Amino acid sequence: MALMNGAQYIESLRKLNTKVYLFGEEVKDWVDHPMIRPSIECLAMTYELAHDPQYSDLMTATSNLTGKTVNRFAHLHQSTGDLVKKVKMQRLLGQKTASCFQRCVGMDAFNAVYSTTFEIDKKYGTEYHERFKKYVEYVQENDLTVDGAMTDPKGDRGLAPSQQADPDLFLRIVEKREDGIVVTGAKVHQTGSINSHEHLIMPTIAMTEADKDYAVSFAIQSDVPGLFMVYGRQSCDTRKLEENADVDLGNKKFGGQEALVVFDNVFIPNERVFLCQEYDFAGMLVERFAGYHRQSYGGCKVGVGDVIIGAAALAADYNGAQKASHIKDKLIEMTHLNETLYCCGIACSAEGYPTQAGNYQIDLLLANVCKQNVTRFPYEIVRLAEDIAGGLMVTMPSQKDFKSDLVVGQSGKTIGEWCNKFFAAAPGVSTENRMRILRFLENICLGSSAVGYRTESLHGAGSPQAQRIMIARQGNINQKKELAKAIAGIKE
């Protein structure tokens, strides 16, 4: 099968019988639901740009498994150059959608499971790696989107999986059969899960023998019996349900998506199982996936940041404030912060290395530094954007008011005329365009897109403390002490 385009991808979702619930009800026509569709359009861009010669150099790669051209989101990185191109592709898609485009989790999971299964097989003589290679070939051949799912509900954070009062708070094996396993549990915060053809499940933490039933990795189609999803609502999401919603949405076409994915006694055939009770490899899988995903944020959030910086600059133009020196300086600061994130994404890629399986892994220290910065800089970027935009981004009347022909007051003017009169700013700038850019900033700073740009930057790919633990492990303080001793003349 050739690479799908955006329309083909959307049609492929209609063929699935994915169970989706929202506001306490099943959503049958979820592909066309106004709250869900923007996230589907985002993913469609990952397919569409692969066909555009201006972007295909980043969007496609040559498969090491088949020699065929595949979407880079289904690729196993074969060099540091591939790792760099991954980050560039993510920046590109952030620029084109100003949203989370959701397909990175699958790509990061492919690469982590590929290298980890190789090492499991080497120790235990299992056949997970060959199974997984066949699975990746299937994904590449059919150009599928896969939800790389790691995060369990976790229950009491002070207890291990096997110590929880409710044993399902970490996804687990409840039955082993001749032909496969049965699993129960859930994965939370699953980015793009509803829009995915498949789910690739991984454990969420390092484990001991007591937790071996929780050490499980497998792949399964989205619409198998017992698997269902509950849509995660976002700030201001019901604006998308308003009649003729446009300006007030800020980003009408694109958006992100997260959901609770529940596995209620789901059967997984053996050929789709890639880790089954080898608990000593759970930590490796987590660390590798997290490393790749922390690299990812040095690309995607930078692309979104590019759009925010552009929007802030436009807001300044529309407000007539573009010549003020403090405005110029704030745009410089935003650019500095954004490009610093990109530097980290590129650096951890350029310093990558080959795994035993042959695919390339990022530099863990630099990837964790990258993500640690991502937990901070986007917050400062949106603070500066709000500073430049002014309070109007959160106080102005609705699109309907600006369009209203209801006569009010004593001068015979409509609500629309009053609004357009009082919200006019720089000469030659339409009030509607000013509204549009301010609503975009509202949406990304504190509306539905803030889920992706703010809180996802903080907690996605691991919360800040998770990176600090990795930085502590990788920081090599003893070597630094030796350097200091040598310079200071300390002999001991």
Partner 1 sequence: MLIGVKFCGGCNPRYDRGKALEAIRQGAKGAAEFVIAEEGTEYDRLLVIGGCTNCCASVDQYTVKGDTIRMWGEDHIDTIINNIKKWGNNI
Nearer to partner 1, 55 or 267 (CB): 55
Determine if 92 is a binding residue for partner 1 (CB under 8 A): yes
What six digits make up the tokens of 320?
Answer: 């007539």
DSSP state for residue 272 in the 8-state scheme: G
Q: Minimum CB separation from partner 1 for residue 91, in Å?
A: 5
Nearer to partner 1, 277 or 335 (CB): 335
Q: Minimum CB separation from partner 1 for residue 140, in Å?
A: 18
Question: How remote is the C-alpha of 418 from its chain's centroid?
Answer: 42
Nearer to partner 1, 3 or 207 (CB): 3
Q: Which of these ranges, 85-93, 118-126, 368-376, 480-488, lies near partner 1 under the rule CB under 8 A?
A: 85-93
* Binding-site string for partner 1 from residue 59 to residue 78, where x marks contact by CB under 8 A and - marks none: x-------------------
Q: Minimum CB separation from partner 1 for residue 298, in Å?
A: 12
Determine if 89 is a binding residue for partner 1 (CB under 8 A): yes
Structural contact between residues 103 and 46, judged by C-beta atoms closer than 8 angstroms: yes
Strand partners for 262: 186, 228
Nearer to partner 1, 91 or 436 (CB): 91
Determine if 91 is a binding residue for partner 1 (CB under 8 A): yes
Q: 129, 189, 197, 293: which is the annotated catalytic residue? A: 293
Of 37, 88, 172, 187, the one binding partner 1 (CB under 8 A) is 88
Q: 18, 80, 104, 370: which is the annotated catalytic residue? A: 104
Q: 41, 258, 278, 386: which is the annotated catalytic residue? A: 258
Window 284 to 303, contacts with partner 1 (CB under 8 A): 303
Window 29 to 58, contacts with partner 1 (CB under 8 A): 53-58
Q: Minimum CB separation from partner 1 for residue 55, in Å?
A: 5
DSSP state for residue 260 in the 8-state scheme: E
Q: Confirm whether 100 is a catalytic residue.
A: yes
Q: Are strands 20-22 and 227-231 parallel, antiparallel or unpaired?
A: parallel
Euclidean distance between CA atoms 83 and 85, whole angstroms: 5
Q: Confirm whether 293 is a catalytic residue.
A: yes
Q: 42, 97, 100, 431: which is the annotated catalytic residue? A: 100
**Strand boundaries in 142-226, DSSP class E:** 146-149, 172-177, 180-191, 198-201, 216-221
Contacts of 59 (CB under 8 A, 6+ apart): 46, 49, 50, 52, 71, 72, 89, 92
Q: Confirm whether 348 is a catalytic residue.
A: no
Q: Confirm whether 300 is a catalytic residue.
A: yes
Euclidean distance between CA atoms 312 and 327, whole angstroms: 9
At CB < 8 A and 24+ separation, what contacts does 232-237 make? Answer: 232/189, 232/257, 232/258, 232/259, 232/260, 233/22, 234/447, 234/448, 234/451, 235/446, 235/447, 235/448, 235/450, 235/451, 236/443, 236/447, 236/448, 237/35, 237/448
Strand partners for 360: 354
Determine if 340 is a binding residue for partner 1 (CB under 8 A): no
Nearer to partner 1, 299 or 460 (CB): 299
Q: Minimum CB separation from partner 1 for residue 258, in Å?
A: 26
Q: Confirm whether 276 is a catalytic residue.
A: no
Q: Minimum CB separation from partner 1 for residue 73, in Å?
A: 13
Q: Minimum CB separation from partner 1 for residue 303, in Å?
A: 8
Count of residues for the chain?
A: 492
Burial class from Cβ neighbours inside 10 Å (0-12, 13-18, 19+) for residue 7 reads: exposed
Q: Confirm whether 141 is a catalytic residue.
A: no
Q: 60, 97, 191, 375: which is the annotated catalytic residue? A: 191
Q: Minimum CB separation from partner 1 for residue 117, in Å?
A: 28
Window 304 to 333, contacts with partner 1 (CB under 8 A): 306
Question: How remote is the C-alpha of 454 from its chain's centroid?
Answer: 12
* CA distance to 227, 316, 423, per residue, from 407 (Å): 54, 32, 18
Q: At what angle do helices 104-124 and 282-319 cross, to 10 degrees?
A: 170
* Chain residues that interact with partner 1, rule: CB under 8 A: 53-59, 84-85, 88-89, 91-92, 95, 303, 306
Tell me the catalytic residues: 100, 104, 191, 258, 293, 297, 300, 456
